Amino acid sequence: MDRYTEIDEVISYIHRHLDEPLPLSRLASHVAYSQYHFARIFKERIGLSPLYYVSSMRLQKAKDLLLRTNMSVRDIGLEIGQQSLGTFSTRFTEKVGISPSEFRESAHRADDQLRTLQLLSDWSMARSFAETNLRISGTVTAAAPFHGVILIGLFAKPIPEGLPLYGTLLPSLGDFCFTGVAPGTYYLMATSVDWGTQAIDFLLPHSTLRNRSKKPIIVTPNNTVPHQQVTLFEPHPDDPPILISLPLLMNHFINRVAK
């Protein structure tokens, strides 16, 4: 069972008041903790600082507004508290991988990208198993029935934002391997897109099966990383949003295997 169950109430509170100012003092006082103690246990439970989590949830809201409304990009930025259009566009691009306008336009191509993957016969780039210590390998399973593509990557933070430092796609549950991984600290994230999923549901992946490592994976030149067991689960209420554009990752993979 997760520690610090009071954080569940804070997460719910953040979701209910996302359009209001949410300074650390307000969040801490909601559970009657000092700011220092609250920030410490929140990060221990979620893996991110409270304000980083709030910022991420607001970017997820921006993604929803881009696809579900006709609001201008400027107005969407204002809706999530970004007074500067330039600042909003820069932050969005950094975390999602493409600009707000490009994300909105990507809805027209997303279905085609998933169909292209479904028809792909050569997935060999997803399964290169070189003999080297500098590798991270494992097996992906799922807690619920699943038939589709799995997107898996190594990220710098315990949240799937920005392009992964190492990433690939798998055509089914099973083994994966990242080779030639540079020494460093990584967080393993995975999600899935069922072959029958509509574009809107993986452009805004609120309900896709997923897994994220809250504990870092440390890669060093002289140590072998243990085999990773990755089980895809239904989303948990405290999961940070999947900010990186899944169609962008699909397109990168398709371009790699086409070379």
pLDDT value, residue 121? 80
To the question of pTM greater than 0.85 for the whole model, the response is: yes
What pLDDT is recorded for position 123? 80
Residue 222 pLDDT: 83
Q: Which amino acid is at 91?
A: R
CA distances, 186 to each of 165, 202, 213, 240 (Å):
8, 24, 9, 16
Residues 121, 154: Cα–Cα separation, whole Å: 25
Separation of alpha carbons 122 and 200, rounded Å: 27
Give the rounded percent of residues in the chain with a pLDDT score beyond 70: 94
- Reference 208, options 127, 144, 117; nearest CA is 144
Spell out, as residue ranges, where the chain has pLDDT lower than 50: 1, 128-131
How many C-beta atoms lie closer than 10 Å to residue 225's C-beta?
Answer: 18
DSSP label at residue 27: H
List of E strands, 55-208: 135-142, 148-155, 166-170, 174-179, 184-194
Q: What is the model's pLDDT at position 134? A: 81
